[in-house]
């Protein structure tokens, strides 16, 4: 078995993208990163709770 090469992540240097995203998508990603950096996040357990509520509300809506 071969050796695993040491790899260092370069967080300041963006990773190359394999798919070109539109400007709106990139702006939304940037906004999310800025929110996370500023501490505006929701704990995973709260997301699970909210998601369950959203799914229930969505599935009980009547279609017109």
How do residues 3-33 score in pLDDT, each as one tens digit?
A: 556 767 777 777 776 677 889 999 999 999 9
Domain for residue 18, yes or no? no
For residue 45, the enclosing domain spans: 23-59
Domain for residue 15, yes or no? no
Domain count, the chain: 1
- What are the counts of helices (DSSP H) followed by strands (DSSP E) for the chain? 2, 0
User: Tokens at residue 18, please?
Assistant: 């394999």
CA separation (Å) from 64 to 4, 39, 60, 61? 58, 40, 13, 9
- Indicate whether this model's pTM tops 0.75: no
Domain for residue 51, yes or no? yes
Domain for residue 43, yes or no? yes
């Amino acid at each position: 078995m071969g050796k695993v090469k040491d790899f260092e992540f370069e967080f300041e240097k963006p990773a190359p993208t394999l798919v070109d995203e539109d400007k709106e998508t990139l702006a939304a990603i940037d906004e999310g990163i800025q929110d996370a950096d500023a501490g505006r996040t929701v704990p995973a357990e709260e997301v699970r709770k909210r998601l369950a509520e959203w799914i229930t509300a969505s599935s009980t809506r009547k279609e017109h």
